[in-house]
Chain A
Amino acid sequence: MENMVNYDPSFAEEVFRDVDAGDEIKMCMNCGVCAGSCPLREHMDYPPRQIFGLIRAGKREEVLSSKAIMLCTSCYTCVVKCPRNIPVMDVMHGLAHYALKQGYVPRKDTASFGKEFWKQVYRLGRIDEKDLPRRVFFSGGLVEGIKAMLNFMDIGLRLMLHHRMKLLPERKIKGVKSLQKMLDKAEGLGKGGAAA
């Protein structure tokens, strides 16, 4: 027994059980095509192939705090390239969702962008393209918010001058209450893990 590497399977089991699409990684043969095809791989600490390896090795902390799991552009390249038909993108989204639920913040700005995005979908049933960046910018506090607003003002103004910014606030869809009931039910029924 002396020469055995002690892999702790408990984290892998947790991922298979609680993470959306988590059980798909059982099929991974670590070929690395996902990493090779990913547009943002050079900015990742661990490309998807290594994330899957770390899960098998029980490295919970490294995986859930890895920025790679939130750097997915959702381009589906890994999904169409994977020779084992693993929906790699879905696994990364599932891991990012789970990490946030567990109190990790793999990427600060993308996390607040995504959370505000969903809040708006839930609240209105639609996205308000003016209101969303404003909420994201100010989610880190007033000073940061003003800085970010000023930084992107030129883009916003140009869009507005070219009729590409709705001037009126987005209204709620008529069925927003019933939509919320459906989504609440799904939140309870689906995977994704309870908050830590």
Chain B
Amino acid sequence: MKYFLYWGCSLEGTGANFLVSLKPVCEALGMEFEEIEDWNCCGASVSYAGANDLAIKVLNARNLAIAEGAAGHDIVAPCSSCYVQMIKVNHEIQEDPELLRQVNECLAEGGLSYGGGIKVRHIQDVLYNDVGVDKIKARVTKPLNGLKVAGYVGCQSVRPFGEYDSVNKPVVQDRLLEALGAEAVPFPRKIRCCGSGIFLPEIDYCMGLVKDILEDALNHGAQLISTVCPMCAMNLEMYQGRINEAYGTEFDLPVVYLSQLMAVAFGMDLKKDAALNYNVIPPEGILKAAVG
């Protein structure tokens, strides 16, 4: 199982615990990753302030073209923003020959061209459909023993196309959590937005969104939240102190990446592989108690 792993800018910084934990976990499951040579940023959610739509499409098409010109494996994006930007552009290009022509006219300025032959996939898709729940279960040596986890899907990892999961009632993350031995608590706000890329500039408006999500997770008995998106992780974890000040709440709920939980359940090193020391709200206590 060879893939291009397009991890994007955040996973080298604020989302580093995602990338650090993802690599050993995927290796243990027999996945092989290559990097897209000299990849660029996907433009994320706010580039429209400076660029027109075609420029944002061309930005993503450059990565697609490089991948197609190399080995042509599927591209796997763990960051949901990278995923949605790239899959959206890819679909639009594949469906509209005139757009493909325009994009190629731009790519030609840098000596590239894209034929539309690459598949873009989210990490949850690959874990669920290529690796499969059975193989993941078989690799678990330290099951999470009914740890109550709120699987926060967020928005961009399943929308807009619903390629591998429902856009309204997603289940894939819950099935993966259950494979690790956790109890995926029902959690209606699992697909409500956290503010994503505009949390920082619109913090006064977006804190309320995160407050509602945290509250919902706790009300459904969650001991921690899992996520697959560096914006979700950042917004849900780093601003709990601010939210407590603003709303008089007492949130202190760990937020970890799904891949960190996998590393723990695979019996890997809690620091080197699961990167639990990267989390600001420490999840070690809860996880150690769960795995026994």
Contacts and interface: CB of A to CB of B under 8 A. Distances in A.
Given A79-B160, A96-B49, A189-B105, A74 B40 contact: no
Given A182-B107, A186-B58, A113 B53 contact: no
A109 interface: yes
A75 interface: yes
A86 B215 CA distance: 32
A93 B48 contact: yes
A20 B52 contact: yes
B277 A163 contact: yes
Contact of A75 (B14, B49, B155): B155
Interface residues of A, number: 70
B267 interface: no
A56 interface: no
Contacts of A126: 9, 40-41
Contacts of B275: 163
Give the one of A122, A166, A170, A186 with max B CB within 10 A.
A186
B44 interface: yes
A74 B278 CA distance: 27
A161 B198 CA distance: 24
Interface stretch (A28-36, A46-54, A57-65, A173-181): A173-181
A187 interface: yes
A129 B202 contact: no
Contacts of A113: 46, 49, 198, 200-201
A164 B14 contact: yes
Contacts of B41: 121, 125-127
Contacts of A165: 13-14
Given A39-B193, A166-B12, A178-B110, A114 B46 contact: yes
Nearest to A181: B109
B278 A164 contact: yes
A176 to B, nearest CB: 8
A115 B49 CA distance: 5
Contacts of A149: none
B45 interface: yes
A162 B198 contact: no
Interface string B182-215: 0000000001110111101110011001000000
Interface in B35-74: 38-41, 43-55, 57-59, 62
B62 A179 contact: yes
A59 to B, nearest CB: 22
A105 to B, nearest CB: 10
A76 to B, nearest CB: 4
A163 B191 CA distance: 28
Contacts of A111: 49
B102 A107 contact: no
Interface string B1-40: 0000000011011111100000000000000000000111
B54 A191 contact: yes
A117 B44 contact: yes
Contact of B279 (A75, A162, A187): A162
Interface in A77-122: 77, 79-80, 87, 90, 93-94, 96-97, 100, 107, 109-115, 117-119, 121-122
8 contacts: A39-B192, A39-B193, A74-B196, A80-B159, A155-B238, A182-B109, A186-B58, A190-B55
Q: Which 6 A-B pairs have the closest CB atoms?
A: A114-B49, A118-B50, A190-B54, A192-B52, A178-B110, A75-B193
Given A159-B14, A173-B38, 6 more contacts: A71-B202, A73-B155, A162-B278, A163-B17, A182-B107, A186-B57
Interface of B: 9-10, 12-17, 38-41, 43-55, 57-59, 62, 84, 102-103, 105-107, 109-112, 154-156, 159-160, 162, 167-168, 191-193, 195-198, 200-202, 205-206, 209, 238-239, 241, 275, 277-280
